Amino acid sequence: MDMVYRPRRLRGSETLRRMVRETRMDKSSLIYPMFVAEGSGIKEEIPSMPGQYRYSLDRLPYALEEVSRAGLHSVLLFGIPAEKDEVGSGAYARDGIVQKALREAKKGFPNLYYITDVCMCEYTSHGHCGILHDHDVENDATLRLLAQTALSHVEAGADMVAPSDMMDGRVAAIRELLDENGHTETPIMSYAVKYASAFYGPFREAADSAPAFGDRKTYQMDFHNRREGMKEALLDLEEGADILMVKPAMSYLDLVREITDAVSIPVATYSVSGEYAMVKAAAMKGWIDEERIFGEMAVAAFRAGAQIYITYAAKELAAMMDDGRIG
């Protein structure tokens, strides 16, 4: 057979395959999401997310110790307050759950990097991501509270804030208030391209944040739209976002690629709760190889162009990177 090109030539051994590998991963690109709750002595497994827990403040140090020992550097904190109200006051309270967690965590583990999710849905009695007017979230009234939330996180020690609410103009509002208060160096990672997705189902159980009525379709994006994703990304860039996020990850990697090609700031993607739950459930049935699937999902995100991958499987991935199963 007369063939010039034989692609198999470069697949002949593990050494060669590794030599020509195009996508390489590193633990410093991973972010591990964690849930902190009021109370004490709590390490409560989230039923639809096996291996993920809600931690009370006294248990948080043990969890951070594990994160640190796994060689991970960054966490994304979500808070579950004891009480919720119409205006989500727990989100921006000085002694809110995330604010308290930050102070504790920074004391015990100053070398970890703390990112906070800035949103109101875990704190509002109606479960929507802002202040309601009739039956919809009022955009501009919500902006002030989101900015206050971000500021209270930074004052409590957050290294970076990540608004996930999908209100128009929130990046600019947060940037302005942070700057006014001297936090010009605190980056904003915007959940810029966030779709209204069923993949968030397990998270809403974890954070007890399902909307009491309706859905989030008036603020989160319609997943049929690609060009609108670019619009959101470019708007957040203009407003001063330092990192743009695409969420969910697995079913939205077309957006990761496109946005990475279009902008010069880092792009992150969030492998959300439903992605994790599907893998765990199938693995528990013995139907798939959990670790290899997590590995492929992560590589795919980086291959699509992401520089940062937020995942509940961060510890598993770190272990796989350590012994060279992926990398």
| Nearest-angstrom CA–CA distance, 229 and 12 | 41
| Nearest-angstrom CA–CA distance, 300 and 143 | 34
Among 36, 63, 121, 308, binds ligand PBG (CB under 6 A): 121
Q: Which stretch binds ligand PBG (CB under 6 A): 39-47, 101-109, 115-123, 234-242?
A: 115-123
Contact assessment for residue 128 and residue 89, using Cβ atoms and an 8 Å cutoff: no
Task: Write out the binding residues for ligand PBG, residues 122-141 only, by CB under 6 A.
Answer: 129
Task: Write out the binding residues for ligand PBG, residues 258-317 only, by CB under 6 A.
Answer: 272-273
Identified catalytic residue from 27, 106, 231, 247: 247
State yes or no: is 194 an active-site residue: yes
- Ramachandran quadrant class, 127 (left: phi over 0; alpha: psi -120 to 50; beta: rest): left
Residue identified by tokens 């993949």 is 199
- Does 106 bind ligand PBG (CB under 6 A)? Our answer is no
Q: Which stretch binds ligand PBG (CB under 6 A): 114-122, 258-266, 280-288, 292-300?
A: 114-122
State yes or no: is 107 an active-site residue: no
Task: Write out the binding residues for ligand PBG, residues 148-177 only, by CB under 6 A.
Answer: 164
Give 148 or 164: the residue with its C-beta nearer to ligand PBG. Answer: 164
Q: Do β-strands 132-133 and 136-137 pair in parallel, antiparallel, or remain unpaired?
A: antiparallel
Give 207 or 326: the residue with its C-beta nearer to ligand PBG. Answer: 207
Contact assessment for residue 88 and residue 211, using Cβ atoms and an 8 Å cutoff: no
- Ramachandran quadrant class, 125 (left: phi over 0; alpha: psi -120 to 50; beta: rest): alpha
Q: Which stretch binds ligand PBG (CB under 6 A): 113-121, 225-233, 250-258, 281-289?
A: 113-121
- Does 73 bind ligand PBG (CB under 6 A)? Our answer is no
What is the smallest separation between the CB atom of 165 and ligand PBG, expressed in angstroms?
Answer: 6
Size of the site for ligand PBG (CB under 6 A): 11
What is the smallest separation between the CB atom of 213 and ligand PBG, expressed in angstroms?
Answer: 14
Q: Which stretch binds ligand PBG (CB under 6 A): 86-94, 197-205, 254-262, 285-293?
A: 197-205
Give 23 or 223: the residue with its C-beta nearer to ligand PBG. Answer: 223
- Does 200 bind ligand PBG (CB under 6 A)? Our answer is yes
Catalytic residues: 194, 247
Binding site for ligand PBG (CB under 6 A): 117, 119, 121, 129, 164, 200, 203-204, 216, 272-273
